Amino acid sequence: MIGMGSFGSMYKRVLNHGKTVVAIKVFNIRQRGASKSFKVECDSLRNIRHRNLVKILTSCSSIDFEDNDFKALVYEFMPGGSLERWLHPNENGIQDEQRHLNIVQRLNIAIDVATALDYLHHHCHMQIIHCDLKPSNIILDGDLTTHLGDFGISRILSKATNRSQNHTSLIGLKGSIGYIAPEYGAGANVSTHGDVYSYGILLLEMFIGKRPTHEMFKDNFNLHCWTEMVLRDRVMTVVDPSLLSMEKDEENEATTATNITGSLRCMKDRVQECLNSVIRIGVACSTESPWDRMETNDVVKKLHMIRNIYLGICTHQGR
């Protein structure tokens, strides 16, 4: 077993004498809503194909050896594991294997997730709202290419009416604490704006290193508010310390004895400019008003530009 969720457990299985490795999600049918979650995920994944979405190999709806209902989904196994284990490797008192993501790797993941959302929101024959975007539902392959998974509470909307066509969805369950859009708490219908809010919180978590459920966030003070307060001139004080230590090591390796001062200054400016821009996007996506949030296609464009600038690629397209 490699993980547990709200409606079942995830297993790693080796088939064909070690030639094939798969991940199998076995639903706990006794758990209320599990059967509905199985159908929702099947409906959502049946007709969508994208490099940044998990690939379902097959499904199983049958009877087990005790004549109980048995439902499972089989996916490609992703050796990189979940993004959550990369962002928070040492929590719960367990020393996980050393995993660290540098700025470029985090930018690549952020772009992949935004691209997946843009596909679901604007390029499917039916609009799909994920409804549960968080690090544990983002899976990485061996090359750290990102795959968005767990569509168990997703909603399928008609593009014409913008109304839910998925009557098997779990009423009232629209995400995970800390990532749920505030309008959902007031009874608003699911929408692309809700996914964008979750994405904004995810982006802030990726570059700041704190969960939105951290004990410092309470009442009306949340990750968005905290980051917005320091956005103007103190962003570097809240950035994930492990990220800054990695960048410092890279700076030391890149500098030369002939121009060490100028190189360090240039790199520090580039890092700060990059982090400011990314966190600004996270804040813009997680605003309280749904209508003030960015569109996913704009997020993808801006993140590509930020990455290009950080890498020193001078492109003038779209400026």
Burial of 270 (0-12, 13-18, 19+ CB in 10 A): middle
Of the candidates 136, 83, 131, the one whose C-alpha atom is nearest the C-alpha of residue 110 is: 83
d(CA 192, CA 199): 11
Nearest of 308, 299, 70 to residue 199 by alpha carbon: 299
Q: Report the alpha-carbon distance of residue 156 to residue 120 in Å, rounded.
A: 10
Of the residues 43, 118, 132, 150, which is catalytic? 132
Collect all residues with Cβ–Cβ distance below 8 Å to 86 and sequence separation of at least 6.
80, 99, 100, 101, 140
Does 269 qualify as catalytic in the annotation? no
Nearest to 80 by CA among 36, 40, 112, 44: 112
| Catalytically annotated residues | 132
